[in-house]
Amino acid sequence: MYDGEPQPGRNDLCWCGSGKKYKKCHLEIDERLQELYEAGEEVPVRSLLKTPQDIEGVRRSAEVNIGVLDYVTPLIAPGITTEQIDQWVYEYTVEHGAIPAPLNYEGFPKSVCTSVNNEVCHGIPSAHVVLHEGDIVNVDCSTIKDGYFSDSSRMFCVGEVSDEARELVEVTKQAMEAGLQAVVPWGHLGDVAAAVQEVTGKHGFSVVREYGGHGIGHEFHEDPFVSFVAEAGTGIIMAPGLMFTIEPMVNKGAAAIDMTDPNGWTVRTADGSLSAQWEIQVVVTEDGPLVLSW
Ligand code: MF3
Ligand code: CO
């Protein structure tokens, strides 16, 4: 079939492990994907399509991930360090029977990413980084629970921030929400990017090109790569069961980034301008997107 795997018989058990007969489970979806594939469209391989059991597993992981972000929200204030955020994330996650996904991920030394002001992503929490009134900070949390991954991030304004900082934070959130609205079953993934850029473009902000969202569920980062600079009508088909993150990184100035930090992680805007990001995790259903983590 479309992914090179054999097709079960109508009365065989479905390949997804639901225990249902194929004709009562993925047959219809497979037929539609096969048609699209033959028409030259890019379609997801079936191992990327999450089953109801997978979605339930991710939902339980996301319960902790959302809980972490809710827990740190009222604690973020002028005078705290990003190291403290890391400790809160670690403690909450472990107390809830889960593991912070960033910890030791490809050598990442902490439990969460904290990216301040001109940092685009992958800021490393540190006792030397004190949050001051007027800063903006992204807290990017990812959790593993019972083998399922969840991932979302939020922006925080530290005390009173400038109008320009607040506008960047709010517009980036609107861009992420516009991306969510563009998740339509059987649509193209590029539609999400186009919706994001329509919002950011109106405000003269730029979308980072090198980073994007990603498939997620059984692994931290699965296919597809979710670009936020792609064009409408392009990219992979958003088949029901496809799970991915929507996490545009938006710069006040130019889109160019600086990846030369000797720590090997922290990414900054090349021109020193502010950067913001919001991230949610969704799964496509026949009725539209289901938001799993935020
Ligand atoms: N949470 C990031 C994402 O949204 C990934 C961070 S990788 C880390 O994809 F190692 F820096 F944590
Ligand atoms: Co992510």
- CATH assignment at residue 267: 3.90.230.10
Q: Tell me, what's the pLDDT at 265?
A: 98
Interval 192-210: pLDDT, tens: 999 999 999 999 999 999 9
Query: Which atom number of ligand 1 is nearest to the Cα of residue 141?
Result: 1
3-state secondary structure of 188: strand
The verdict on the CB of residue 191 being under 6 Å from ligand 1 is no
Mean pLDDT, rounded, of the chain: 98
CA 52–ligand 2 middle distance (angstroms):
21
Q: Are 5 and 48 in contact (CB under 8 A)?
A: no
Q: Which residue range is the domain that position 25 belongs to?
A: 1-41
Both 74 and 34 in one domain: the answer is: no
Number of neighbouring beta carbons within 10 Å of residue 114: 29
Q: Are 251 and 219 in contact (CB under 8 A)?
A: no
Both 80 and 187 in one domain: the answer is: yes
Both 75 and 4 in one domain: the answer is: no
Amino acid identity at 38:
E
Checking DSSP bridges between strand 99-100 and strand 136-145, what pairing results, if any?
antiparallel
Interval 138-174: pLDDT, tens: 999 999 999 999 999 999 999 999 999 999 999 999 9
Amino acid identity at 95:
E
Q: Give percent above pLDDT 90 in the chain.
A: 99
Both 30 and 52 in one domain: the answer is: no
Q: Give percent above pLDDT 70 in the chain.
A: 100
Q: Tell me, what's the pLDDT at 287?
A: 97
CA 220–ligand 2 middle distance (angstroms):
8
Domain count, the chain: 2
Q: Which residue has the tokens 């990442």?
A: 108
User: Starting at the edge strand that comes first in sequence, how are the strands of the sheet with 249-251 ordered?
Assistant: 206-207, 249-251, 275-277
Interval 263-279: pLDDT, tens: 999 999 999 999 999 99
Q: How many Å apart are CA 269 and CA 211, to the nearest integer?
A: 13
The verdict on the CB of residue 108 being under 6 Å from ligand 1 is yes
Interval 103-128: pLDDT, tens: 999 999 999 999 999 999 999 999 99
Q: Tell me, what's the pLDDT at 230?
A: 98
The verdict on the CB of residue 222 being under 6 Å from ligand 1 is no
CA 163–ligand 2 middle distance (angstroms):
27
Q: What DSSP element (H or E) covers 282?
A: strand 280-285
Q: What is the best residue among 154, 208, 220, 225 to mutate for testing ligand 1's pocket, by most ligand atoms within 8 Å of CB?
A: 220
Query: Which atom number of ligand 1 is nearest to the Cα of residue 106?
Result: 10
At residue 80 the predicted structure's pLDDT band, cuts being 50, 70 and 90, is very high
Both 199 and 233 in one domain: the answer is: yes
The verdict on the CB of residue 113 being under 6 Å from ligand 1 is yes
At residue 190 the predicted structure's pLDDT band, cuts being 50, 70 and 90, is very high
The verdict on the CB of residue 225 being under 6 Å from ligand 1 is no
Q: What is the best residue among 122, 152, 265 to mutate for testing ligand 1's pocket, by most ligand atoms within 8 Å of CB?
A: 122
Interval 202-258: pLDDT, tens: 999 999 999 999 999 999 999 999 999 999 999 999 999 999 999 999 999 999 999
Both 220 and 91 in one domain: the answer is: yes
Q: Tell me, what's the pLDDT at 294?
A: 98
Give the tokens for residue 111: 């439990």
pTM higher than the cut 0.95 = yes
Both 61 and 170 in one domain: the answer is: yes
Q: Tell me, what's the pLDDT at 135?
A: 99
Both 158 and 23 in one domain: the answer is: no
φ and ψ of 55, to 5 deg = -65, -40
Mean pLDDT for 45-58 is 97
Both 8 and 107 in one domain: the answer is: no
Q: Tell me, what's the pLDDT at 118?
A: 99
CA 80–ligand 2 middle distance (angstroms):
25
Query: Which atom number of ligand 1 is nearest to the Cα of residue 102?
Result: 12
Q: Are 157 and 168 in contact (CB under 8 A)?
A: no
Both 31 and 69 in one domain: the answer is: no
Both 272 and 128 in one domain: the answer is: yes
Both 88 and 112 in one domain: the answer is: yes
Q: Which residue has the tokens 């301040």?
A: 116
Q: Which stretches of 158-240 are assigned E, i.e. beta strand?
A: 206-207, 213-215, 222-226
| Cβ neighbours for 84, distance < 8 A, ≥ 6 positions apart | 75
